[in-house]
Amino acid sequence: MDKRESIRILEDAKSVLTQYIERHGLRKTQERYAILEAAYNFNGSFSIEELSDALKPTCQVTYPTLYRTLGLFVTLGLVIRHTHHAVQCYEKCFGVKTFFQMVCVHCGKVIPFKSVVLMEALRDTKYPRFRPNNTTVCVYGSCTQCNTRMSREQKKLDRQRVLQEKKSQLLKEERLKRQVESRRKRREEARQQNEQNEEGKDD
């Protein structure tokens, strides 16, 4: 998307917000527009912390205000919200009709992808008594970094398990050896005792 197109989309998004504010007789605070602008400056998804950081140089907005305002933007169709486990992120969506995203369920990373097949399937889908505005297709899974990390962790666990098994096998063998030895000793003692008894009788 070129810069002019981005500016046009932001202006359209702002006018959606203005219409809402006027319809509900709300005050036209600059805060909401600043948040909208900051949200639209992100290419791709962002967390509430990232948005707060981006706003810091220009205006201080509290987290409750950010959550409330982003909630309003979601209702107005200006941003979409992804929630994966505890990770919540947002993304501008006005002027973008279809989102194809791969979402990592472990770290919450959102990676956009393209699919002509899905695009055509969505276009040909009938929506009974419903007019869709925009569509989000989320494919949940695990990203390369998380896969690498998890397989490393799994290998470590496997190694630890093998070591633990070897150790307990050794302990078992030691115990057995000790048992055999003490049985042998007892038998030897009994034999000697027996011999002494026999000798006693002979005397």
User: What residue ranges bind Zn ion (CB under 5 A)?
Assistant: 104, 106-107, 109, 143, 146
* Least distance to Zn ion, CB of residue 117, Å: 25
The residue (of 153 and 195) whose beta carbon lies closer to Zn ion is: 153
The residue (of 18 and 147) whose beta carbon lies closer to Zn ion is: 147
* Least distance to Zn ion, CB of residue 147, Å: 8
The residue (of 72 and 103) whose beta carbon lies closer to Zn ion is: 103
* Least distance to Zn ion, CB of residue 127, Å: 32
Question: What is d(CA 45, CA 74) in angstroms, rounded to the nearest whole number?
Answer: 13
* Least distance to Zn ion, CB of residue 141, Å: 9
The residue (of 32 and 109) whose beta carbon lies closer to Zn ion is: 109
**Residue 79, SS3?**
strand
Token readout for 15 is: 């006018």
The residue (of 35 and 104) whose beta carbon lies closer to Zn ion is: 104
* Least distance to Zn ion, CB of residue 109, Å: 5
- The strand ranges marked E within 15-116 are 46-47, 79-84, 87-92, 98-104, 110-112
Residues with Cβ < 8 Å from 144, sequence gap 6 or more?
none
The residue (of 17 and 104) whose beta carbon lies closer to Zn ion is: 104
What stretch of H or E contains 137? strand 135-141
Each residue of 131-143: b (16+ CB within 10 Å) or e? eeeebeeeeeebb
Token readout for 185 is: 């000793």
Each residue of 175-187: b (16+ CB within 10 Å) or e? eeeeeeeeeeeee
* Least distance to Zn ion, CB of residue 146, Å: 3
